[in-house]
Amino acid sequence: MRKPVIAGNWKMYKLLGEAVDTALTLKPLVANANHCEVVIAPVFTALKSVADRVEGSNIRVSAQNCSTEAKHGAQTGEVAADMLRDVGCSHVIVGHSERRQFYGETDATVNLKTKAVIQTGLTAIVCVGEKLSERESGNAESVVKTQLKGSLDGLTVADMERIIIAYEPVWAIGTGKTATPEQAQEMHGVIRRSLAESHGRDVAEATRVLYGGSVKPDNIRSLMDQPDVDGALVGGASLDAESFAQIVNYKV
């Protein structure tokens, strides 16, 4: 059985005090959520304070990015994965479409980052997803498969225990336009079959595949009803503790 993961990506929102306040408000609201893993991803500058405040709770902390380099060195502006572990992170989001789109990340850089995360003993939330034009031209499936293959290239079966996939169709991010549960299920099925081809059936069955893109309290249930949807990566609706808690508690 795959334990669902509900993760909140706070993107470049919230000053330190706001991030800590949101985390503290969230803590009691999700304290009884044993049916899923709860992850929040604040900006770098809030990671340590948030991690300190949720320590001992069922909330895990994720970074939104890390360096391709695991080794410390002259890399101005970069943050290594073990530095994130050092401040209390257990997860790192890699290859988010906003990083692919605005910061030139390719499958090759996503692959290096993913390896850096795994080597450090953290879990990578690896994002894939097609653009609207790619869906409209009928290429969504091949785009996602290529991203997946490139991002996970060279990872062993053991490495895959530290991988969570997030399928985030770019056209659904921040647009209010969610993929229908059927569209999500279809692509999650494609992803699981692709994982079976690359790493075998057991890995495919064990890997959590999250959906992301305009997930809200009122659509989480129908998405989670799909057999291959193992959780959500939530943007906008995770910024408010109450609405994120409603998503986490979709089962209650």
**Which residues of the shown chain bind ligand 13P in the complex (CB under 6 A)?**
9, 96, 168, 173-174, 212-215, 233-237
Nearer to ligand 13P, 70 or 163 (CB): 163
Q: How far is the CB of 48 from ligand 13P (least distance, A)?
A: 22
Q: How far is the CB of 236 from ligand 13P (least distance, A)?
A: 3
The answer to whether 96 is a known catalytic residue is yes
**What φ, ψ does residue 147 adopt, rounded to 5°?**
-60, -45
Asked if 41 and 8 count as a contact pair (C-beta separation under 8 A), the reply is yes
**What φ, ψ does residue 214 adopt, rounded to 5°?**
60, 40
What is the pairing mode between strands 231-234 and 209-212? parallel
3-state DSSP assignment of residue 237:
helix
Nearer to ligand 13P, 120 or 244 (CB): 244
Q: How far is the CB of 202 from ligand 13P (least distance, A)?
A: 28
The answer to whether 168 is a known catalytic residue is yes
Q: Which of 91, 96, 188, 199 is catalytic?
A: 96
Asked if 81 and 51 count as a contact pair (C-beta separation under 8 A), the reply is no
How far is the C-alpha of 161 from the C-alpha of 159, rounded, in Å? 5
Nearer to ligand 13P, 100 or 192 (CB): 100
Q: How far is the CB of 178 from ligand 13P (least distance, A)?
A: 8
Q: How far is the CB of 63 from ligand 13P (least distance, A)?
A: 13
Nearer to ligand 13P, 181 or 198 (CB): 181
Question: Distance of CA 34 to CAs 1, 38, 189, Å?
Answer: 14, 9, 26
Helix%, strand%, coil% for the chain, nearest 5:
45, 15, 40
Q: Based on C-alpha coordinates, what's the Rg of the chain?
A: 17
Nearer to ligand 13P, 148 or 203 (CB): 148
Q: Give the type of residue at 96.
A: H
Q: For 3-131, where are the alpha helices, taking DSSP H only?
A: 16-29, 47-54, 81-86, 97-102, 107-119
- Which residues participate in catalysis according to the annotation? 96, 168
